[in-house]
Each structure stands twice: as C-alpha cells, then as structure tokens.
Structure 1
C-alpha cells in the first residue's frame, strides 16, 4: 500500500513540474542577450536581485525591485508596457514573472542566463566597495 502511495506521489510531482514548465514558457519569453538589448530601453527593466547584488553591478538603466519586495511594490510597474526581468541566473526571474502574470502583467521577458551571462554595460553603485 505504501508503495502505491509513493508511486502516486512521484507521478503527481512530475505532472506538477511539467505543468509549471509549460506555464512558465507561456508566461515568460526568454530572450538572448542581443534580443534583450534590442528591447530593454523601450521597456521597464527590472533587476529582481537583492540590493547588495544590485549595488555590486547591474545593467545600465535597471531598477531594483527584489523578488522579496515584488508583491509590495507592484504599483511601481505599468501593465501597458513590456517588463524585462533579470536576476543572477534566471531562477528568481521565473518566480517574479509568475507573480506578475497572476496580477495581470502580460508582456514579460527574461534575459537568458541572467546577469552573470550579460556582456553589455554595467553600472556599479559608488557605495559598493566590498
């Protein structure tokens, strides 16, 4: 009996993972660095990393709205403009996009590979000297 329960649990987890994967693909467009660079100046460029990460270096023109604060700061984002998101490697971006999509945001894009793969201009905050 326990074996059937465990097998059922594994199947449910796999199905849930597959569902989340396809939901993410539908909600969030992953852009190469060149595609991201083409459109981010006409969009809301949001860095969802924590403030210390942002201060250490971020894409020029980005606003820092950490994933941990996203729910409280939704008022800062417009629904009628594309949103370009990035984090360090892409995992927080997916969670931010799922939240934004639930709140009615439609044109959501992420930088493939995240900030660590970015080769464009970077700005560092003056206070970030660690």
Structure 2
C-alpha cells in the first residue's frame, strides 16, 4: 500500500486562500469538534463509511484529528472503499492549535 500523503497546516492555509477544491474532514467525536475545530465537516470515524459513499468521484479530501492518528486510520479505510479519492492527512493534527 502506498504511503499516506501528508499536508502541513501552512499548506492547508495556502490551499484555503487559493480556494483549492477539497473537502476538509474532522474525524474526531462530536464533543471534540464542539470544543475546538478548524472548520472541517464533522464525520466521526464510526460514520465514515456512509459519508464516503456520498463523496463525488475524484474528490480531494484533507482529513484531520487531534494528533493525526485517527485521520491516518480513516484514510486507510477510505482507500479500501474508494480508490478514486485523493486523501491527505493533516500531519500532527490540530493539537498545536488547541
């Protein structure tokens, strides 16, 4: 299996400023998202399957969590279900921002 593509916060902010077409996905739990988030769509790991079925073909996803571990797991799950999606993990998660 290919390694997981990583993106850092600086590059993410650059993509946002450039209006790059991607979906920002927070794979944490609702209480974590409510406490602090960076604007991503909340899709807890347990709800990932149904969400991925609805994502448009060839979409680009940037996934994040607190430290970057759950988002890597999410990307592994996505790859098994949807090989057409381009996924990036926010390296280190949002821990440093909290």
**Would the TM-score normalized by the shorter structure come out above 0.5?**
yes
Kindly report structure 1 stretches of 4+ aligned residues shifted beyond 4 Å.
Answer: none
Unaligned runs of 5+ in 1: 1-22, 120-130
Cα offset, 1:84, TM superposition: 0.4
Unaligned runs of 5+ in 2: none
Cα 1:76–1:57 change in 2 (3 A) is: farther
Q: Secondary structure at the match of 2:58?
A: coil
What root-mean-square deviation, in Å, do the aligned CA atoms of Structure 1 and Structure 2 show? Answer: 1.9
- The 8 Å contact of residues 48 and 93 in structure 1, kept in 2 or not, is answered as yes
TM-score normalized with structure 2 length:
0.82
More helix, by proportion: 1
Cα offset, 1:71, TM superposition: 1.5
Bigger-Rg structure (1/2): 1
- The 8 Å contact of residues 49 and 64 in structure 1, kept in 2 or not, is answered as yes
